[in-house]
Amino acid sequence: MTELAPHASSWYAATAHPAPERPPLDGDATCDVCVIGAGFTGLSTALHLAKKGRKVIVIEANRVGWGASGRNGGQLHSGQRRDQETLESWFGETRAHALFALAEEAKRTVKDLILTHAIDCDWRDGLIHAVHKKAWLHAACAEAEHLIARYGYEGATFLDAAGIARAIGTDVYFGGWRDATAGHLHPLNFALGLADAAEEAGARICEGTRATAISSDGGGHRTVTTATGTISASDVVIAANGYLDGLDPEIDARVMPIRNFVLATEPLGARASRLIPFREAVADSRFVVHYWRISADGRMLFGGGETYGTRDPKDVAGFVRRHMLKIYPDLADVKIDHAWGGTLAVTMNRMPFFRRLRPGVYTASGYSGHGVAIATFAGKLLAEAIEGDTSRFDVMASIPARAFPGGRRLRQPTLVLAMTWFALRDRLG
């Protein structure tokens, strides 16, 4: 068998449950739905379709969970990526409410999948939003108040400066709020659990199998080409997110890959409980967000810093550690055991890109750092749409998505300029 690309050398890979090697596609095959990519989007699509009795083949260029789904911060957020007041101003109250209801269901879907399929992925309740600028505290709390007053949201508790310092073991934040219904998990083990569940439901997963082209015969059939065979399917789902690499020009124009980085310290022992006594995840209010949590074995898992070019920092551990020490200077003596990067995908308006691109070809991607809930849920909506009920898929697909300016060649420098400006604003405080 050809050798499969290893997972990024992360704490997640080091603590992943054993997984079988799933052989690459070997010859031509036929199915109802061919899914390209085995991250949360693709695996959840396969699981939901297979449960409905559809014959599904997932092809993954590398390994199950190899992309962002196996490398991320593991934070499951409430709501959509943009706050409700923004969504109301863009789309009006009715659509904003519909989007919030879908996001709430996304969060429940992740928790239900964990329970239903007994996925062992260190799930823990609780996520704290920490505000890094005094002037922003009012707006951050108003956002939570808005959820409570207008959306009947019950999970939010406010934290003043002293309260947040007790909750997260640092006094660099001005306050924030605790979200009791959000939380965190081990993302690679969640992805591996989804893959097992999809296979149990009847889906076939081929690792080491890259789609190189998708064509239509004009009569109800699509052909996906790979180096080791073709797949003929009624429907195709492109679930390649930040790793799309030009496979589809329409997605490519609207969904831009960016790199983000995470470290894992050595286990902190009793110190871990002094830092975050109730072990919530934490995300701050920076544009280039800092996010962290204590792992099940007591390490600090800290994410921060992103790059917009093609090259990673030479010293990823040092790059992320600098961000961590601004918040936890006392961790200067702690060894960094793992540091890694991953590619996520952003859109112009930071809302995901769900589309039926052409007959029989669907996609969901561009979750803009909010994919643990929404990518997993996308699989459910894609399955519904392919089964013929497009009503909820269409709520997401009706979100406008502008192409990044500059086309394929110039959009990267344009994005670098824009993002660098926002990152600079973070630094200027």
Residues that bind ligand FAD (CB under 6 A): 36-42, 59-62, 66-69, 71-75, 77, 210-211, 239-244, 247, 260, 262, 291, 303, 342-344, 365, 367, 369-372, 375
Between 156 and 211, CB nearer to ligand FAD: 211
* Shortest CB 159 distance to ligand FAD, Å: 20
Between 59 and 272, CB nearer to ligand FAD: 59
In angstroms, rounded to a whole number, what is the distance separating the alpha carbons of residues 392 and 364? 13
Between 282 and 331, CB nearer to ligand FAD: 282
* Shortest CB 290 distance to ligand FAD, Å: 11
In angstroms, rounded to a whole number, what is the distance separating the alpha carbons of residues 182 and 100? 14
> What distance separates the 2 farthest-apart alpha carbons in the chain?
65
What separation in angstroms does the CA of 336 have from each of 78, 171, 217, 316?
30, 23, 53, 11
What separation in angstroms does the CA of 234 have from each of 35, 60, 225, 260?
11, 19, 14, 36
Q: Tally the residues of the chain.
A: 429
**What is the b/e burial string over 286-323, where b = at least 16 CB atoms within 10 angstroms of the residue's CB?**
bebbbbbbbbbebbbbbbbbbbbeeeeeeebbebbbeb
Among residues 5, 114, 72, 19, the alpha carbon closest in space to that of 264 is found at: 72
* Shortest CB 76 distance to ligand FAD, Å: 6
In angstroms, rounded to a whole number, what is the distance separating the alpha carbons of residues 307 and 91? 31
Where helices occur in 31-79 by DSSP H, the ranges are 40-51
Between 319 and 388, CB nearer to ligand FAD: 319
* Shortest CB 238 distance to ligand FAD, Å: 8
Between 295 and 365, CB nearer to ligand FAD: 365
Between 131 and 372, CB nearer to ligand FAD: 372
- Residues 411 and 273 sit within 8 Å (Cβ to Cβ): no
* Shortest CB 73 distance to ligand FAD, Å: 3
Between 94 and 310, CB nearer to ligand FAD: 310
* Shortest CB 278 distance to ligand FAD, Å: 18
Among residues 277, 271, 299, 304, the alpha carbon closest in space to that of 163 is found at: 277
**Residue 101 — φ and ψ, nearest 5°?**
-60, -40
* Shortest CB 135 distance to ligand FAD, Å: 26
Between 241 and 285, CB nearer to ligand FAD: 241
Q: Which residue is nearest to ligand FAD (CB)?
A: 371
**What is the b/e burial string over 56-91, where b = at least 16 CB atoms within 10 angstroms of the residue's CB?**
bbbbbbbbbbbbbbbbbbbbbbbbbbbbbebbbeeb
* Shortest CB 149 distance to ligand FAD, Å: 25
